[in-house]
């Protein structure tokens, strides 16, 4: 199963995704490629594959990406081989920008789409300022983009409001766990039970 | 939101329902009426409303029930006023037999239906024997009914396999929590956030 989570800058979707990966079994993280600079807290190959713009463009030409987009001046994309990493039992968690999620939707109709909504606007501004990685003008730009992007929530199956991290983590986990309980997903587990009822007296 | 859980005798749906009620906030239990005898572990008004057959039949005549059925020789039913107990924020959890669930489906199209599947047949037999409340012939009858009833899983949105209680509790909780994250359910919480983005600079 493919679970796509997205949301605007500062919605905290990456923090959420990491917490869910720690706390849930059988979920693999799809590691995106990006041309943006690594932040101090990030690990190459875990948070992102950090590549040069030349490398990224070559991946586009070679059709190695299932989706890509330019966000705040940097390339972001998902390699096709990342989505193939899910084991038979496991799920793949894709943490991508709003544009990328739209491209995934066209190709993976059965994926589950979760939109992470930031808290009220003043709170989001505070978060971006506190993160301290952007200049005031860059923050203004992010807030402008966020304002446009949050409208996209309408196209998503589930919405998680990230105003309180613990609650948001529980909610995102519940969306993933509940998908595993869908009848059509479960048929393989159900069959042996049905057979045991048919066989015995 | 109305959450209907059902499953055959011995599937452990009542144990599951009670655990979920303890662990989740904003869920109210719809207390069914029944003419069967109270078990020692059960509490009047909490597990069931225990009534006489005469009283039950009067409720049927007065159209006070949203569904009712005869299961293993006893009447079981849900009073209409039980379903009205949900607060604006809260969910109602309905723990009913498979026949009753079918009746609810016709009247409450938007309810969420969860089927609790017992473990393998020999394990179910062991459970019923261990419970010690039935004679061997009554157990045989329950197993026969269970065999027919498990086929109904096909009509349900979600299936929880109750082979390990802790896991099954987590799964049922996730189904309920995830419903609260559905976009259309969440619009009321989303609106103030959207407004805060529209208003500010």
Q: Which two tokens stand for residue B99?
A: 């026949």
Q: Which two tokens stand for residue B108?
A: 């409450």
> CB–CB of B76/B34 below 8 Å?
yes
Is B186–A159 a contact, with Cβ atoms under 8 angstroms apart? yes
Which residues does chain A have within 8 Å of residue B180's beta carbon, measured at their own beta carbons? 171
Q: Which of B79, B90, B101, B86 is nearest to B32 (CA)?
A: B79
Among all residues of chain A, which has the CA nearest to that of B151?
A194
d(CA B95, CA B85): 15
In B145-188 the beta strands, taken as DSSP E runs, fall at: 158-161
> CB–CB of B2/B158 below 8 Å?
no
Question: Residue B165: pLDDT band by 50, 70, 90 thresholds?
Answer: very high
Determine the distance from the C-alpha atom of residue A144 to the mean position of all C-alpha atoms in its chain, rounded to a whole number.
21
Topology classification of domain A2-30+89-199? Rossmann fold (3.40.50)
Query: How large is the average pLDDT for residues A119-132?
Result: 88
pLDDT in tens, A130-183: 888 888 998 898 898 889 899 999 999 999 999 999 999 999 999 999 999 999
Among all residues of chain B, which has the CA nearest to that of A182?
B158
**What pTM was estimated for this model as a whole?**
0.88
Instruction: Give percent of chain A with pLDDT exceeding 90.
Output: 62
Question: Residue A86: pLDDT band by 50, 70, 90 thresholds?
Answer: low
pLDDT score of B79? 94
pLDDT score of B88? 59
Instruction: Give percent of chain B with pLDDT exceeding 70.
Output: 97
Chain B, window 103-162: residues with a beta carbon less than 8 angstroms from a chain A beta carbon: 114-115, 117-122, 146-147, 150-151, 153-154, 156-161
pLDDT in tens, B111-154: 999 999 999 999 999 988 888 888 899 889 889 889 989 999 99
Among all residues of chain A, which has the CA nearest to that of B193?
A120
The sign of the dihedral angle between the CA atoms of A182, A160, B181, B186 is negative
pLDDT score of A88? 59
Residue whose pair of structure tokens reads 């793949």 in the numeric block: A92
Instruction: Report the DSSP beta bridge partners of residue A158.
Output: A114, B182
Residue A186 sits at the chain B interface (C-beta within 8 Å): yes
> CB–CB of A5/A13 below 8 Å?
yes
**What are the angstrom distances between the C-alpha of B80 and each of A147, B44, B74?**
45, 18, 19
- Nearest by CB to residue A156, choosing from B115, B177, B183, is B183
- Nearest by CB to residue B183, choosing from A119, A157, A183, is A157
Is B177–A178 a contact, with Cβ atoms under 8 angstroms apart? yes
**What are the angstrom distances between the C-alpha of B94 and each of A13, B13, B51, B105?**
34, 10, 19, 12
Query: How large is the average pLDDT for residues A100-119?
Result: 91
pLDDT score of B106? 87
pLDDT score of B86? 63
**DSSP track, B139-185:** HHHHHHHHHHHGGGGGG-SEEEETTSHHHHHHHHHHHHHHHHTBHHH
> CB–CB of A22/A88 below 8 Å?
no
pLDDT in tens, B83-108: 887 655 689 999 988 888 988 988 88
Mean pLDDT (chain B) is 91
For residue A44, give how far its alpha carbon lies from the nearest alpha carbon of chain B (Å): 32
Which residues does chain A have within 8 Å of residue B177's beta carbon, measured at their own beta carbons? 170-171, 174, 178
| Alpha helices (H) in chain A, listed in sequence order | 13-23, 53-61, 80-83, 98-107, 121-131, 136-149, 165-180, 183-199
Neighbouring C-beta atoms of residue B78, cutoff 10 Å: 25
> CB–CB of A43/A21 below 8 Å?
no
pLDDT score of B89? 61
Which residues does chain A have within 8 Å of residue B179's beta carbon, measured at their own beta carbons? 178
């Amino acid at each position: 199963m493919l679970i796509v989570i997205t949301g605007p800058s500062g919605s905290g979707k990456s923090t959420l995704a990491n917490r869910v990966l720690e706390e849930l079994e059988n979920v693999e993280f799809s590691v995106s490629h990006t041309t943006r600079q690594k932040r101090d807290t990030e690990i190459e190959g875990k948070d992102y594959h950090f590549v040069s713009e030349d490398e990224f463009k070559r991946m586009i030409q070679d059709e190695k990406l299932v989706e890509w987009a330019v966000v705040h001046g940097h390339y972001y994309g998902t390699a096709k081989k990342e989505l193939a990493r899910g084991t038979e039992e496991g799920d793949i968690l894709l943490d991508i920008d709003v544009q990328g999620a739209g491209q995934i939707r066209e190709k993976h109709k059965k994926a589950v789409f979760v939109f992470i909504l930031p808290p009220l606007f003043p709170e989001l501004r505070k978060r971006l300022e506190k993160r301290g990685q952007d200049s005031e003008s860059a923050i203004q730009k992010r807030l402008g983009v966020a304002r446009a992007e949050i409208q996209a929530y309408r196209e998503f199956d589930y919405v998680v409001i990230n105003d309180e991290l613990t609650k948001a983590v529980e909610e995102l986990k519940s969306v993933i766990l509940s998908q595993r309980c869908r009848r059509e997903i479960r048929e393989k587990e159900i069959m042996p039970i049905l057979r045991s009822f048919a066989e015995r007296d």
